[in-house]
Amino acid sequence: MSRKIAIVSGSSGLVGMKLLHQLFQNPEFDWVISFGRRYLALKHHKLVQVKVDFGDLDQEDVKEQIRNQNMGGDFQPLIKALDSGNARPLAFCSLGTTIKQAGSKENFYRIDHDYVIHFARMALRLGVKRFLYVSALGADAQSSIYYNKVKGEVENDLKRMDFDYVGIFQPSLLLGERKENRLGEEVAKVLMRGVTFLGLFKKYKPIYDHQVAKAMVKRSLNGEISGNETVTSSEMHTMTE
């Protein structure tokens, strides 16, 4: 029997945590492998956590890490599926930070671009054919805004990779419980709620983290869609109403 496996990066973030819960609840998925720099304080019978250095993913032996955690034999079906190729892995990436958090443009680029591409390459090695990525509204490799420019470069690089399907999800301002307070975002959210209430600029309507996660999981299971696809914030609202 083919086992459906989700591999997830950025699990500790706003959308990433909601993605985990959506995947746990969805009966289509047998396993959820979370890749992170540290272990999450979270347990679930579907969850396998793999601690990695995103800057050195080429050297990571994912299967060996899972074997080392298989003391009670709970992960044996997963290991067999990965070893035999009898698995249908799908990848979900919500890796990302801000220039302020990263401390410099160089660090921001390394996290938001390089780490995402490293994760995508590792996903290909694991047999992933469908890759879903959280980008941002306004992403454009030609943008004069550095944040949007980097997101656009990531999108372009992912589209050139050997996946059957690349889903680019471009949320507007994200609503949800953040660990840190971003004053500028909070002000923008209040303003945009007012604008969208008046029926203006619907594409900028703020969207909840769980809506983005739900849209990603829903799209990942639609095997009829292939190639490269950009899913707008407005489309995500429609998909999750």
The enclosing domain of 42 has a CATH number of: 3.40.50.720
Question: Residue 8 has what pLDDT?
Answer: 97
> Could you give the CA distance from residue 40 to residue 234 in angstroms, rounded to a whole number?
31
Question: Residue 80 has what pLDDT?
Answer: 87
Question: Residue 198 has what pLDDT?
Answer: 46
Pairing mode, if any, of strands 130-134 and 87-93? parallel
120-131 pLDDT per residue, tens: 999 999 899 999
237 Cβ contact list (under 8 Å, min separation 6): 205, 207, 211
**Element (H or E) spanning 130, and its range?**
strand 130-134
Question: Residue 193 has what pLDDT?
Answer: 53
- Domain membership of residue 17 as a residue range: 3-239
Closest to 133 in 3D by CA, of 146, 125, 123, 142 = 123
Please give the backbone phi and psi of residue 108, each rounded to the nearest 5 degrees, phi first.
-60, -45
Question: Residue 201 has what pLDDT?
Answer: 60
204-230 pLDDT per residue, tens: 788 999 999 999 999 999 988 999 999
Question: Residue 119 has what pLDDT?
Answer: 96
Question: Residue 69 has what pLDDT?
Answer: 86
Count of domains forming the chain: 1
Pair of tokens at residue 173? 């301002």
- Identify the segments of the chain with pLDDT beneath 50: 188, 191-192, 196, 198
The neighbour count for residue 26, using CB atoms within 10 Å, is 17
Question: Residue 182 has what pLDDT?
Answer: 52
**DSSP three-state, residue 168:** strand
Q: Does the predicted TM-score (pTM) go above 0.85?
A: yes
